[in-house]
Structure 1
């Protein structure tokens, strides 16, 4: 089967991000034809003028629709696409020049009806963005589930860098109405329909993510609230490791209370962990500032995800 790529990009009030992403798509070392569909999800700050700038460089289609969320916008784009393999990208990514070539090679070597790719920090990113990227991708923080092939048995693609065949989209009906965790939900439904997924390690994107600690906290909190719902909907996929951030923050708070009463020796375990994390981030990023910020972004990630998980599991469960 000849692969015909359609790139689907939902956007909401982020024209500057679309500008950077489309520019990176014009630089692909890819000889095959591909189309790009921009789905404007009811934005007030439209990207249409930015899209017009690239009409002569890309096979580009622009659609404006009422606001319905990213999942529905992705489905809308796949319904309008003419290709037979859809590539879903978030608007806050930049793709390296070999991105499409890496996908084509990966699928030709091992075809699957869905794939995911890792994310990385571009050299132009801020120190905070690099620290957030470390916290979201490091083996010491997430177990490497977002892109370390040797650490996972079945890869769960994420919506910022997600590929799915037209056949699989038709069978599964694409993304659900979930606001958070909709990509994991789709992956589980793909598996239920016997479709295989894979990680294409070389098909990475530069993911800018959130630009502030508070925004990052909100994002991870929302991720945490989604997981208990997914565990309940797909009980066979539930893992004890999903409890780790909640247990981590609960024991940290308990140990801080004990330390107040003179029993702070258990805090040394946390100090050792964060020292190892600091060193690992420094070795990866070659920056003391990024390594220092990585400690705070990891704490933010654990508190956000852990609190969201606990609230969803206990409060929403009983409401």
Structure 2
């Protein structure tokens, strides 16, 4: 990516990609307007080819005095963020998603280490769901559990809550063009360039999580596929990246979850076959189902304990079957990701 010329400009540029959702954008910009650093901000809205509410999005951007640019086609959030970075004039580029609502002190917390010169990029996660229900609470707790509780360097970046010096961003090539896991690739690129992000646990934003199970599981599958493809693209993590305290990509935990989740499915399938042809042997396979399920749950023991301590036993146990389903989803995404990753290698 060609780096634009830096001119005399606001110190901080906030880039917000949006697609077909003017209402969420209005909430996001309303909160951002209350930021402690609001006078120093340049806000850039990138409409990623919205098909239904483009005019409404432009009106929202105009109302909040934000720079507006509309992509001709929907290229995905990574492409939209790159375009926003090219338009930005600030020394620090901040990426925020349109479905996030930031506290008034968020921007000051997120950019302070960069302004002090102690790092080139910072990232954070979430501080709660905008709407609380069974599935949104699970997503928020899952993110909270997997994030470190103290500041640390990491190859993980969260593209909806990220600040980076413009020089570091353009030096690593920005976001890839892929639609999912693009933030993971950017984090790898920053680390490989010697400018790893610093995770800030206190700089979270509220997030509009998926409000139904189908949408959430679909996103988990896409995430798994693109994570595997990203590893094929980038290769093995380098030494700087292995220092990450993020639990998301613990290969042992994920591997065990995939193995026992798959084993449980096999046992269920075999139990059904045996129950049809030899009913007297079916209990043996049902025992196998129970044991493999318990082993699979032991992989998530710490997370379940984390949930119990925060929400009680009843709520934590209600998520056990969901964890199993997620592992099954990851098993399928691993297989698809391997095939697509190998195909990508052969094409190149």
Residue 246 of structure 1 and its aligned partner are, at CA, apart by 2.2
In structure 1, C-alpha distance between the alignment counterparts of 2:330 and 2:152, rounded to whole Å: 20
Residue 232 of structure 1 and its aligned partner are, at CA, apart by 2.2
2:338 to 305, 313, 319: 313
Secondary structure at the aligned position of 2:66 is classed as strand
Tell me, yes or no, if structure 1 residue 251 matches structure 2 residue 277: no
Secondary structure at the aligned position of 1:6 is classed as strand
Q: Residue 258 of structure 2 contacts residue 328 of structure 2 at CA under 8 Å; is this kept in 1?
A: yes
In structure 2, C-alpha distance between the alignment counterparts of 1:303 and 1:152, rounded to whole Å: 31
Per the alignment, residue 47 of structure 2 pairs with 40
Computing the radius of gyration over CA atoms, which structure comes out larger, 1 or 2? Answer: 2
Per the alignment, residue 268 of structure 1 pairs with 294
Secondary structure at the aligned position of 2:198 is classed as strand
Return the TM-score normalized by structure 1.
Answer: 0.83
Q: Residue 6 of structure 1 contacts residue 84 of structure 1 at CA under 8 Å; is this kept in 2?
A: yes
Tell me, yes or no, if structure 1 residue 220 matches structure 2 residue 246: no
In structure 1, C-alpha distance between the alignment counterparts of 2:97 and 2:137, rounded to whole Å: 18
Q: Residue 117 of structure 1 contacts residue 203 of structure 1 at CA under 8 Å; is this kept in 2?
A: yes
In structure 1, C-alpha distance between the alignment counterparts of 2:102 and 2:125, rounded to whole Å: 11
Per the alignment, residue 303 of structure 1 pairs with 328
Residue 25 of structure 1 and its aligned partner are, at CA, apart by 0.9
Q: Which whole-Å deviations, capped at 9, do the CAs of 1:156-200 have from their partners, x for residues lacking one?
A: 102121222110222123111122221111121222222221112
Q: Given the superposition, is the C-alpha separation of residues 280 and 13 from structure 1 closer, same or farther in structure 2, using an over 3 Å criterion?
A: same
In structure 2, C-alpha distance between the alignment counterparts of 1:277 and 1:219, rounded to whole Å: 20
Q: Residue 94 of structure 2 contacts residue 164 of structure 2 at CA under 8 Å; is this kept in 1?
A: yes
Residue 19 of structure 1 and its aligned partner are, at CA, apart by 1.7
Per the alignment, residue 175 of structure 2 pairs with 175
In structure 2, C-alpha distance between the alignment counterparts of 1:254 and 1:312, rounded to whole Å: 21
Per the alignment, residue 190 of structure 1 pairs with 190
Return the TM-score normalized by structure 2.
Answer: 0.77
Tell me, yes or no, if structure 1 residue 74 matches structure 2 residue 81: yes
Unaligned stretches of 5+ residues in structure 1: 139-143
* Superposed counterparts of 1:1-319, under 5 Å: 4-30=11-37, 32-46=39-53, 48-49=55-56, 52-53=59-60, 55=62, 58-66=64-72, 67-109=74-116, 111-122=118-129, 124-138=131-145, 144=146, 147-149=147-149, 154-237=154-237, 240-241=251-252, 243-254=255-266, 256=268, 257=270, 260-263=285-288, 264-270=290-296, 277-285=303-311, 288-289=314-315, 291=316, 293-314=318-339, 317=342
Number of residue pairs aligned between Structure 1 and Structure 2: 309
Q: Which whole-Å deviations, capped at 9, do the CAs of 1:118-168 have from their partners, x for residues lacking one?
A: 213246433321122223442xxxxx2xx3155976241021212221102
Q: Which has the higher contact order (CA 8 A, sep 6+)?
A: 1
Unaligned stretches of 5+ residues in structure 2: 1-8, 239-249, 272-283
* Greater CA drift, 94-103 or 298-307: 298-307
Per the alignment, residue 141 of structure 1 pairs with none
Secondary structure at the aligned position of 1:63 is classed as strand
